[in-house]
Chains A and B, each alone.
Chain A
Amino acid sequence: KAGVTQTPRYLIKTRGQQVTLSCSPISGHRSVSWYQQTPGQGLQFLFEYFSETQRNKGNFPGRFSGRQFSNSRSEMNVSTLELGDSALYLCASSFRGGSGDTQYFGPGTRLTVL
C-alpha cells in the first residue's frame, strides 16, 4: 500500500498570506490527524477528522482550520500567516482512530513564513 502523502513538501509564504496543505491518507483509512512541529514546542496536535467530521481539536487559534473530503483526503488551511507559523506540518492517517489503531505519518510539509 502507498503511504501517507503530503503536498507540497516545501512552501515559503509571507506574513499575512494564507496557505492550504493537502494530505492523502493510506487507502482504506478514514481518520486523518494533523500536527504542527516546531523546535520550541515539539509535536503538537492540531485536529482530527473522521468521516468528513472534525472529531478532536487541539489548542490552536481559529486561523488554523481543516476539512476532510468524502474520499478521506484532507486539507488544512492557515489564514493570516504569522512568523511563528513556520513549522513542519505533519499529517497522519489511521483506520478509525481508536486507541489500538495505529497512526501512520506522512513526510510533512515544511512551511516557512517570511
Chain B
Amino acid sequence: DAKTTQPTSMDCAEGRAANLPCNHSTISGNEYVYWYRQIHSQGPQYIIHGLKNNETNEMASLIITEDRKSSTLILPHATLRDTAVYYCIGRNYGQNFVFGPGTRLSVLP
C-alpha cells in the first residue's frame, strides 16, 4: 500500500470550502485512494474514493492529479459538524487499510 502524508491539522471557516491535501507519491497504478473521517470516538465514516478520475458525491469531491501522486478532498461548504480527523489511504487489492495519523480539521464559526 502507498504511504500517504497529510498535514497534521487545518482550520477552515464555516461555510467556506475545506481543501484537504494528501501526498501519495508511491502509489501504484491499481491502488485506489480512499478518504475517511472520524469524529471523536466514533467509527470512521467513508467519504469518497477514486482511482484516476475526479470523483464527486453528496459529501465531497476528490481531485486526483494526473500523475496520481497527490489528491485533494474538497468539502464544498464546511459546517461545524465537519470537524473531524480526515484520513487519506492508498489501498491495493487484497490489502488491508493502513491508517496514518490523518489531518485534524477544525471548522471555526
Contact = CB atoms under 8 A, between A and B. Distances in A.
Interface of A: 4, 33, 35, 42-45, 48, 55-56, 58, 88, 90, 92, 97-100, 102-108, 110
8 A-B pairs with the lowest CB-CB distances in the bound complex, closest first: A105-B43, A43-B99, A99-B93, A45-B96, A105-B44, A107-B43, A108-B43, A56-B96
Interface in B87-106: 87, 91-101
Contacts of A106: 43
A99 B46 contact: no
A107 B93 CA distance: 25
Interface of B: 30-32, 34, 36, 41-46, 49, 51, 87, 91-101
Mostly, the A contact residues are strand
Given A43-B99, A99-B31, A104 B91 contact: no
Given A99-B91, A102-B34, 13 more contacts: A4-B43, A42-B101, A44-B99, A55-B94, A56-B94, A58-B96, A99-B93, A99-B94, A104-B46, A105-B36, A105-B46, A108-B42, A110-B41
Contacts of A58: 96
Contacts of B97: 33, 35, 45, 92, 103
Nearest to B43: A105
Given A42-B101, A99-B91, A100-B49, A90 B96 contact: no
A6 B62 CA distance: 30
Contacts of A107: 42-43
27 contacts: A4-B43, A33-B97, A35-B97, A42-B99, A42-B101, A43-B44, A43-B87, A44-B99, A48-B96, A55-B94, A56-B96, A58-B96, A90-B44, A92-B44, A97-B94, A98-B94, A99-B30, A99-B31, A99-B32, A99-B94, A100-B49, A102-B49, A103-B46, A104-B46, A105-B43, A106-B43, A108-B43
